[in-house]
Amino acid sequence: MKLETSATYSQEQDTVEALSSVEQDLGPLTWRDYVQVTKPGIVRSNLIVIVTGFWLASAWKGSFDFMLLLYTILGGSLVMAGSCVLNNYLDRDLDIKMERTMERPIATGRMSAKTALGYGMLLIIAGTTVLGLTAENGLAALLGIIGAFFYVVVYTAWMKRTTHLNTVVGAISGAVPPIIGWAAVTGNLEQGAWLLFSFLFLWQIPHFLALAMMKADEYREAGYHMLPVTNGFLETKRQILLWTAALVPVSLFMYEAGIVGKLYFISAAALGLGWLALAVKGFFAKDDMKWARSMFLYSLLYLVVSCVIMMVDVVI
């Protein structure tokens, strides 16, 4: 008990010292802070999968509604932005310990916790309202709420601080955007929607494990239970290989299901085998950080190229 108390006291002192160091540089709250706290990079990266889901569902249905696409992008973006704000709100005590996050508006105190909580909730409510009023039915809005719940409550508030399995659970919320796009068009979750969900779920795990390797020291210092921190790099490489291997056949099954054509099949096979080869290479890498960065960058290339080819393939 004394050891635990001393450790807790030490962590609290570290947080207080970190807060004191940044509070001296606090400036007034600006509109840029309101944008930054939504993690615009994450929101932008998710737009391509929302559009992909919408595009494939439109091709499957045989009709395309441009205004509905704009409303779906707006509603989905607001839900994701609000979820990211609440993520920052909950992580403010740990963000201050990490170099890449310690300047975030909530972590520094430039944006109050009360303001952040209200702002995040407002964005989620606005996003689900837009989806509920404009989509085929209320399913897209419901999916937005489910995705936000998994990201904010299950992933951020609970599992991120307690178990390395947080990456797997977090991938559930990250796989919701494409099926929001699909459901906005059809009002249902047909086979294509579930294949997109599975595709993005499996993609995220090696993607974020590679990132976790790159930022392992920061995660360790902050107290996050990430796999490279709790189980080491070798086990992380094994998991990356396992999940990448699982992704390859799932990505190809979209062709077998008739969702996409041969152009996508050939491209997905080449991209998947390339990523798998890079994953195997990790066991022989002399520089783990360099390899992890290569895996991370390749995963981004893989996702963008795959989504673009999916959309092109259904219209040619």
pLDDT in tens, 108-138: 889 999 999 999 999 999 999 999 999 888 9
Residue 118: inside a domain? yes
Report the CATH number that the domain containing residue 184 is assigned in CATH: 1.10.600
Indicate whether 218 pLDDT > 70: yes
Indicate whether 13 pLDDT > 80: no
Residue 7: which H helix or E strand, with range? helix 2-23
pLDDT in tens, 55-90: 999 999 999 999 999 999 999 999 999 999 999 999
In terms of Cβ atoms closer than 10 Å to its own Cβ (0-12, 13-18, 19+), residue 53 is buried
> Total domain count for the chain?
1
Residue 227: inside a domain? yes
- CA pair distance 205, 136, nearest whole angstrom: 31
Residue 12: inside a domain? no
pLDDT in tens, 34-52: 999 999 999 998 999 999 9
pLDDT value of residue 26: 61
Residue 23: inside a domain? no
250 within 8 A of 203, measured Cβ to Cβ:
no
User: Considering Cα of 268, then 273, then 275, then 279, what sign does the dihedral take?
Assistant: positive
- CA pair distance 210, 295, nearest whole angstrom: 6
- CA pair distance 204, 187, nearest whole angstrom: 25
197 within 8 A of 176, measured Cβ to Cβ:
yes
Q: Could you tell me the end-to-end alpha-carbon distance of the chain, in angstroms, rounded to an integer?
A: 67
State the pTM of this model: 0.88
Residue 82: inside a domain? yes
- Enclosing domain of residue 239: 34-313
- CA pair distance 210, 243, nearest whole angstrom: 12
pLDDT value of residue 7: 42
Residue 235: inside a domain? yes
The predicted model gives 296-306 an average pLDDT of 97
Residues above pLDDT 90, as percent of the chain: 79
- Residue 151: how many CB atoms within 10 A of its CB? 23
272 within 8 A of 306, measured Cβ to Cβ:
no
The letter for the amino acid at 78 is L
- CA pair distance 163, 230, nearest whole angstrom: 9
Q: What tokens appear for 223 in the block?
A: 């107290």
- CA pair distance 201, 199, nearest whole angstrom: 6
